[in-house]
Amino acid sequence: MKRPVVVIATHNLDKLREIRKILGRGPVAVKSLADFPPPYAVRETGKTLEANALLKARAAVRRTGVPALSDDSGLEVNALGGRPGVYSARFAGSGCSYDDNNRKVLRLLKGRPASRRGAVFRCVVALVFPDGRERLFQGRCPGRIVDALRGVGGFGYDPVFLPAGKKKTFAEMPLAEKNRLSHRSRAFRKAAAHLKKIFGPSAR
């Protein structure tokens, strides 16, 4: 029996690879936007993670005609008043790199002790269906910002984020270990559980 298709609404290959690992072989066939050419872009104009996740998922449904999953994630640093938050991907400016963003966070926190470097990674996943049904799922991972880049794995702020109770940053962890802890994993596992309720148990 052919499995129903769900598209992951992202062009970020690092994120797509991570999400596929999290979802595994469930009741749906996971496709990417690359499976529905030509490519297109969605401006993330929302003021919240929830708004941006819904913007991207709704656009993917319109483009593909199949259910879509999209996430927006942000690093919220206590000492920075919750920044970069919804602006995490472009914190250092338009066209910035992961490294640019990390170095800006480290610069802003320079000299602060570990007790004042608390942060939380937050992820919101939107699941949107062609018939208009919508659901949001949230995942959180508390931790703190280390005082220097550590590790070469992962992406985004992984080299500066140390999960609570751990000795390795996300960038120092194998992907399987990160996926047991991460904000994105927690949110997508909730979405996967909801898909199983709708479409049945995992495919064989």
- The pTM of the whole model exceeds 0.95: no
Q: What is the pLDDT of residues 6-26, one digit of tens each?
A: 999 988 888 888 888 888 877
More confident: 82 or 43: 82
Q: How confident is the model at residue 38 (pLDDT cuts 50, 70, 90)?
A: confident
Out of 14, 35, 71, 72, the active site residue is 72
Q: Which CATH architecture has domain 5-199?
A: Alpha-Beta Complex (3.90)
Please give the C-alpha separations between residue 3 and each of 30, 32, 103, 142, 194, in angstroms, as whole numbers: 9, 15, 44, 36, 16
Mean pLDDT of the chain: 92
**Annotated catalytic, 158?**
no
Instruction: Compute the chain's Rg from CA coordinates.
Output: 17
Q: What is the pLDDT of residues 76-131, one digit of tens each?
A: 999 999 999 999 999 999 999 999 999 999 999 999 999 999 999 999 999 999 99
